[in-house]
Structure 1
Amino acid sequence: MESTEVVRQYWSSVWSRDWHAVGLTLAEDVEVFWPVTREIIRGRENMVAVNREHPNGWSIDVLNVYDAGDVVVSEVQVPQEDVGIFRVVSFWTVAGGVITSGREYWTRYGGEEGRDWRLKYASVGDLAP
């Protein structure tokens, strides 16, 4: 399976809450870093558990998956009831048909105001993914 398909399968399995299938996309010793919160998730069991234990009320929309050579980049939107919409940019390393490591940037979509000094250069809006 191509690396981009492994990443697409990962997100599809998370969305369908098929925890066994999620585990099949991850190396046993996978390591995923979330720089925004400085959390490091080590091991397949922990990565599956983080996804499984997340409070319900969310869905996943895969916006883009890019083959960047040694890395696969995915951009995902995660609407969650009573919280808002998260955007996630992930950098995945895939080897041997499984995800071996990742770095994910989770942020709330529109959750931060632009800086005043940029108002004359930028507008606020949405672009199609």
Structure 2
Amino acid sequence: MTPVTDLRKTVESFWAAAEARDWAAFAKTLADDVVYTLPQTRERIRGKETYVRFNREYPGDWHARIERIVAEPGQVVSWVRVTVGPEETHAVSFFTGDERGLISGVVDFWPEPYEPPAGREHLVERY
């Protein structure tokens, strides 16, 4: 396998383990010194144990479904649809990998939906 294939499979395993709440399998996808960054809240988590705990303790009955994954050497981007009860949102995650194909970095973006500005209704289709 190539490094692209390895990291892509690691990211697929990461999301499957998160959805299954299989924290042992989730931890196996991560480098010991993984760094998780949330730019919108300006939070950073360092280390496998802390990152696993962050996810394990995250409140609510959330579920994640992969919409799309794009992979290239050393990095993978995933678009995931997340539901928490009746609420639905999307996340875009940028993963970097180490030489073993483990996740060494994750940067998450959780865009909030908003209403578009007036004046472009004639150009767009709303869905």
| TM more than 0.5 | yes
Supply the AA of the counterpart residue of 1:100.
Answer: S
Equivalent runs, 1:59-78 vs 2, <5 Å:
59-78=63-82
Partner of 1:88 in structure 2?
Answer: 91
Supply the AA of the counterpart residue of 1:72.
Answer: V
Measured after TM superposition, the shift of residue 67 of structure 1 is 0.8
Normalization by structure 2: what TM-score?
A: 0.88
Deviations 1:76-106 (A, max 9, x none): 1111015x11211111001212100111101
Stretches (4+) displaced over 6 A: none
Q: Secondary structure at the match of 1:112?
A: coil
Partner of 1:17 in structure 2?
Answer: 21
Stretches of structure 1 lacking an aligned partner (at least 5 in a row): none
Q: Distance in 1 between matches of 2:115 and 2:61?
A: 26
Equivalent runs, 1:1-129 vs 2, <5 Å:
2-81=6-85, 84-95=87-98, 96-108=100-112, 111-125=113-127
- Number of aligned residues: 122
Stretches of structure 2 lacking an aligned partner (at least 5 in a row): none
Pairwise CA RMSD: 1.5
Normalization by structure 1: what TM-score?
A: 0.86
Supply the AA of the counterpart residue of 1:90.
Answer: S
Contact residue 31 and residue 103 of structure 2 kept, 8 A: yes
Q: Distance in 2 between matches of 1:117 and 1:46?
A: 46
TM-aligned CA distance change 1:38 to 1:119, over 3 Å: farther
Deviations 1:6-61 (A, max 9, x none): 00000000000011111111111100111111111111111111111111311111
Measured after TM superposition, the shift of residue 117 of structure 1 is 3.7
Q: Distance in 2 between matches of 1:15 and 1:61?
A: 8
